[in-house]
Structure 1
Amino acid sequence: MQNYKNHTRYFPLHHFLITPLTLIIMAWSLVNLFTLWETKEISQALYNILIAFVLLLLPVLARIYALKTQDRIIRLEMRQRYFELTGTSFLKMEKKLRMSQIIALRFAGDEELIPLMEKAVKDKLKSNEIKKSIQNWQEDRRRV
């Protein structure tokens, strides 16, 4: 059963292989640059830094793109749920909530979603506070 304590998800290939390897390549390139700073091989070291920087950006950008897409899907999901539960548009409530709050609220069960949403707006709850107050946690094992 998913809950606040175990809802964080790691993708091993991204978090434990690709990102650490790109950080190692970047660090190695920086060490190489400082080692060769006053030699004729400085241009090769600068070239290696450039390549390492591009390699470092690739997993970061891939993660950002995936999370932005997921955020859009979450917003659509919440619009649909809110309409199904209240029969009204989510737009008015959506303008009062930060995206992090909307993301946190998606874990709430239908019976507690609206009251918790109103409390989040009224008390300006942070996403972690919202997640911690959820009683009927709705699992989501497909997150990026």
Structure 2
Amino acid sequence: MEKQNYKNHRKYYPPHHFIYLPLLFLLGLLGIYNIWSDTENRLIWILFSVLIFLIFYLAVMVRQHYALGIQNRIIRLEFKQRYFEIFNQRSDEIAEKLRFDQLAALRFAHDDEFKELLYKALHENISGEEIKRSVKNWRPDDHRV
């Protein structure tokens, strides 16, 4: 497996992202095209297109909704645990001051960078993307959904 860094940290599920969703997209285009080219069966093609759009929408939303919700809760817990291990203090007040994108980005920083980037997030309000770009020693997250 390639070493994880900022450029390759996003994860894809090939059957879903490169087969199922493109196929639904093409079927949607076929339906929309046939609405105007097959005037005899226009209503059928409209219904087909609406059905394909609904399946596409559900495929995207349902797949991500539960996994991302659980993953976000785990990221918050990881932050609290890590903060406690580094500073030997509870992090409730600190965690409330940070946006989720900042919390999520901080997990990629090693402990020495974590302190500095946390300070910047709190006092300079840098974004999660800026935090990720600032990480010099990337700490991979190989177990995310």
**Structure 2 counterpart of 1:113:** 114
Structure 1 Cα separation of the partners of residues 106 and 64 of structure 2: 22
Q: Deviations over 1:24-79 (max 9, x none)?
A: 1111111122334x53x233122212210122113211123322321121111111
Are 2:46 and 1:46 aligned?
A: yes
Identical amino acids, percent of aligned pairs: 39
Moved over 3 A (4+): none
Aligned to 1:2: 4
TM-score, normalization: structure 2? 0.86
- Aligned equivalent of 2:18: 16
CA RMSD of aligned residues (A): 1.7
Amino acid at match of 2:7: K
Q: For 1:70 and 1:33, locate their aligned partners in 2 and report how far apart those are by CA, in whole Å.
A: 41
1:56 maps to what in 2? Answer: 56
Displacement of 1:103 in angstroms is: 0.8
Match of 1:68 in 2: 69
TM-score by length of 1: 0.87
Unaligned regions of 5+ residues in structure 1, if any? none
The range that moved more, 3-12 or 122-131, is 3-12
1:109 deviates by 1.1
Question: How far, CA to CA, are the matches of 1:68 and 1:116 in structure 2?
Answer: 25
